[in-house]
Chain A
Amino acid sequence: MQQLIEYVIASGMLGKNPPYQIVAAVVVLLASAFVVLVVALPFAGIVTWVERRVWARIQSRIGPNRVGPQGFLQWLADGIKLICKEDIVPTDADPHLFKLAPYLVMLAWILPWAVMPFSSALILADLNVGILYMTAVTAVTVVGILMAGWSSNDKWSLIGGIRSAAQIISYEIPAGLSIFPVVMMTGTLSMERIIKAQGWTPQHWFLFANPFCFIAAGILFVSALAEGNRTPFDLPEAESELVAGFATEYSGMRYSLFFMAEWGNLFIIGAIIATLFLGGWQAPRVSADPVVMNILQLIVFNAKVLFLVFLSMWIRGTLPRIRIDQLVTVCWKYLVPIAFANLIGTAVWVALWPEGNSVMGYLMVALGAALVVLFMRRVIYYLRRARMELYFRPNI
Chain B
Amino acid sequence: MSTLHTEEMTLNMGPQHPSTHGVLRFVIRADGEVMREAIPDVGYLHRSIEKIAEKVGYHGFMPYTDRVDYVCAMFTNQGWGMACEKLAKIEVPRRGEYCRVIAAEFNRIASHLLAVGTMGMDIGAFTPFVHALREREMINDLIEELCGARLTFNYMRIGGVAWDLPPGWREKALAYLDHFDPILDEFNSLISFNKIFVERLANIGVIPAEEAINYNLVGPNLRGSGVKWDIRKDLPYSVYPDFDFDVPIGQGQWGVVGDSMDRYMVRILEMKESVKILCQALTRIPSGPVLAKVVRNFKPPAGECQIRVESARGDMGWYVVSDGTGYPWRVHVRTGSFAAMGLIQKLSRGLMIADLVALIASLDVIAPEIDR
Contact B18 A240 (CB under 8 A): yes
Contact A238 B33 (CB under 8 A): no
Contact A391 B191 (CB under 8 A): no
Q: Does A394 reach chain B (CB closer than 8 Å)?
A: yes
Q: A241, A385, A390, A395: which contacts B357 (Cβ < 8 A)?
A: A241
The distance in angstroms between the C-alpha atoms of A155 and B352, with both chains bound, is 15
Q: B126, B127, B191, B352: which contacts A325 (Cβ < 8 A)?
A: B352
Question: How many Å from the CB of B232 to the closest CB on chain A?
Answer: 28
Question: How many Å from the CB of A97 to the closest CB on chain B?
Answer: 20
Q: Does B286 reach chain A (CB closer than 8 Å)?
A: no
Contact B130 A59 (CB under 8 A): yes
Question: How many Å from the CB of A48 to the closest CB on chain B?
Answer: 16
Q: Which of A35-43, A108-116, A315-323 contacts B (4 or more CB under 8 A)?
A: A315-323
The distance in angstroms between the C-alpha atoms of A384 and B9, with both chains bound, is 52
Question: How many Å from the CB of B127 to the closest CB on chain A?
Answer: 5
Known: A239-B18, A320-B197, A324-B33. A396 touches B175 (CB 8 A): yes
Q: Which of B176-184, B310-318, B327-335 contacts A (4 or more CB under 8 A)?
A: B176-184
Q: Which residues of B contact A55 (CB under 8 A)?
A: 126
Q: B121, B179, B189: which contacts A396 (Cβ < 8 A)?
A: B179
The distance in angstroms between the C-alpha atoms of A317 and B131, with both chains bound, is 12
Q: Which residues of A contact B357 (CB under 8 A)?
A: 240-241
Q: Which of B129-180 contact A (CB under 8 A)?
A: 130-131, 134, 137-138, 141, 172, 175-176, 179
Question: How many Å from the CB of A14 to the closest CB on chain B?
Answer: 54
Q: Which residues of B contact A2 (CB under 8 A)?
A: none
Known: A60-B131, A317-B127, A319-B125. A243 touches B352 (CB 8 A): no
Contact B172 A395 (CB under 8 A): yes
In the complex, per-residue mask of B324-349: 1 if CB is within 8 Å of any chain A CB, else 0: 00000000000000000000000000
Known: A240-B357, A322-B200, A395-B141. A390 touches B19 (CB 8 A): no
Contact B200 A320 (CB under 8 A): yes
Contact B197 A396 (CB under 8 A): no
In the complex, per-residue mask of A323-335: 1 if CB is within 8 Å of any chain B CB, else 0: 1111000000000
Q: Which residues of B contact A241 (CB under 8 A)?
A: 19, 353-354, 357
Q: Does B258 reach chain A (CB closer than 8 Å)?
A: no
Question: How many Å from the CB of B16 to the closest CB on chain A?
Answer: 9
Q: Which residues of A contact B179 (CB under 8 A)?
A: 387, 390, 396
Q: Does A285 reach chain B (CB closer than 8 Å)?
A: no
Q: Which residues of B contact A391 (CB under 8 A)?
A: 134
Q: Which residues of B contact A319 (CB under 8 A)?
A: 124-125, 194, 196
The distance in angstroms between the C-alpha atoms of A239 and B186, with both chains bound, is 26
Contact A386 B18 (CB under 8 A): no
The distance in angstroms between the C-alpha atoms of A390 and B120, with both chains bound, is 22
Contact A155 B9 (CB under 8 A): yes
Contact A232 B196 (CB under 8 A): yes
Main secondary structure of the interface of B (DSSP, over half): helix
Q: When A and B form their complex, what is the total count of cross-chain residue pairs whose Cβ atoms lie within 8 Å? A: 102
Main secondary structure of the interface of A (DSSP, over half): loop
Q: Does A58 reach chain B (CB closer than 8 Å)?
A: yes
Q: Does B185 reach chain A (CB closer than 8 Å)?
A: yes
Q: Which residues of B contact A321 (CB under 8 A)?
A: 123-125, 196, 200, 354
Closest to A61 in B: B130
Q: Does B199 reach chain A (CB closer than 8 Å)?
A: yes
In the complex, per-residue mask of B1-30: 1 if CB is within 8 Å of any chain A CB, else 0: 000000001010000011100000000000
Q: B185, B190, B354: which contacts A324 (Cβ < 8 A)?
A: B354
The distance in angstroms between the C-alpha atoms of A386 and B127, with both chains bound, is 16
Q: Which of A120-175 contact B (CB under 8 A)?
A: 155-156, 159, 163
Contact A320 B124 (CB under 8 A): yes
Q: Does A231 reach chain B (CB closer than 8 Å)?
A: yes
Known: A155-B9, A232-B124, A241-B19. A320 touches B183 (CB 8 A): no
Q: Which residues of A contact B18 (CB under 8 A)?
A: 239-240, 243
Q: B130, B186, B353: which contacts A386 (Cβ < 8 A)?
A: B186
Contact B130 A394 (CB under 8 A): no
Closest to A163 in B: B33
Question: How many Å from the CB of A334 to the closest CB on chain B?
Answer: 13
The distance in angstroms between the C-alpha atoms of A395 and B168, with both chains bound, is 12
Q: Does B230 reach chain A (CB closer than 8 Å)?
A: no
Q: Which residues of A contact B138 (CB under 8 A)?
A: 390, 394-396
Closest to B176 in A: A396
Greatest chain B CB density within 10 A among A58, A231, A386, A390 is at A390
In the complex, per-residue mask of B29-65: 1 if CB is within 8 Å of any chain A CB, else 0: 0000100000000000000000000000000000000
Q: Which residues of A contact B141 (CB under 8 A)?
A: 394-395
Q: Does B355 reach chain A (CB closer than 8 Å)?
A: yes
Contact A387 B182 (CB under 8 A): yes
The distance in angstroms between the C-alpha atoms of A232 and B137, with both chains bound, is 28
Q: Which residues of B contact A324 (CB under 8 A)?
A: 33, 352, 354
Question: How many Å from the CB of B295 to the closest CB on chain A?
Answer: 38
The distance in angstroms between the C-alpha atoms of A238 and B126, with both chains bound, is 12
Known: A326-B199, A382-B189, A386-B182. A320 touches B125 (CB 8 A): yes
With A320-B194, A390-B138 given, name 7 new contacts (CB 8 A).
A159-B353, A238-B354, A239-B18, A240-B122, A386-B182, A387-B179, A396-B172
* A-B pairs with lowest CB-CB distance, top 7: A321-B124, A320-B125, A59-B130, A240-B19, A320-B123, A320-B124, A240-B122
Q: List 8 A-B contacts (CB under 8 A).
A: A59-B127, A61-B130, A155-B11, A163-B33, A234-B124, A243-B17, A319-B124, A320-B124
Residues of B within 8 A of A (CB): 9, 11, 17-19, 33, 120-127, 130-131, 134, 137-138, 141, 172, 175-176, 179, 182-183, 185-186, 189-191, 194, 196-197, 199-200, 352-355, 357
